[in-house]
Homo-oligomer: A and B are copies of this chain.
Amino acid sequence: MKCTRCHARATINLPSHNAAFCRACFLLYFCRQVERTITKEKMFTRDERVLVAVSGGKDSLALWDVLITQGYQTEGLYLDLGIDAYSSLSRQKAEHFARLHHVPLRIVPLAEEAVSVPVAARFTQRPPCAACGKMKRYFFDRYAQEGGFTVLATGHNLDDEAARLLANVLHWQMEYLAREKPVLHPTHPKFVRKVRPLYRMSELETAAYAFLRGIDYVIDECPHSHGASQLFYKEILNRIEAHMPGTKLTFVQEFLRSAQSLFVAPDGSPPQECESCGMPAFAPLCSFCRLMHEVERKRRQNRDQSDTDSLPS
């Protein structure tokens, strides 16, 4: 198999693009594709400071790597979710990457700033992913705002986008479909523009990029993701892709090109400021503060219960 671009021996085959590349041409192709996405979708310019949400996994580190090599001003934001060995290992990977590339990385340990994901899940008796999502969204916006960033970039890849789109389409989640865009503009001055520069790059491509660039990333998935429906949708899409290469990209791209604008989010009142923390909120308290209050209430109940239990009868 020969490189489609330079005819040297190819190292990676991309059936969805009907192409194959050698190492150098693949890295060039990858960077150009990401650059094209950033420019075409008007995600950000080289004059802006970009906050990169880094998990220590292949996607976010590949994204950060591309942005650094392409000369963007970046800073990493790592949320330590407090998920035992997974969090400590992924934190190490993020720190290692930042040191190696001499780029700033802000670490936010949730256990100190709020509560860890497992504790939030235990006290609210809801799936860990629900609490994790709420806290991520909150701290992304808060630290972007505090750090004077206008844009936050996440490493969601094509497989993530396609899986989310499939889930939303199978149930026709109209509000979610209305918000399914690679660039989300803020609806409040304390919200930040959110962009997904890798949304056209497949998981295979970002993994290949990370591998070929020698990026040291955490390979294990978050232990809470096992059995998560997103993995199931990804598996389904992989079967479709194997049968009809290019379908994932068509599914996402054609949605954005032809269908997305048909789905309109209902006109709600604009967010107010949370009575407790001052961040934007669609209720008197923002959803993060509601989560924190719920955890606090359950903690108190548990304490009262154990005090009652220890009284002499």
Contacts and interface: CB of A to CB of B under 8 A. Distances in A.
Contacts of A255: 172
A29 interface: no
Contacts of A174: 258-259
Contacts of A229: 244
Contacts of A169: 169, 251
Contacts of A262: 262-263
- Interface residues of chain A: helix, strand, loop or mixed (majority): helix
Interface in A153-176: 169-172, 174
Nearest to A247: B170
Contact of A171 (B172, B254, B263): B254
Contacts of A250: 170-172
A239 interface: yes
A229 B172 CA distance: 23
A236 interface: yes
Contacts of A172: 250-251, 254-255, 257-259
A247 B236 CA distance: 14
B251 A171 contact: yes
A282 interface: no
5 contacts: A170-B240, A171-B254, A172-B251, A172-B255, A239-B239
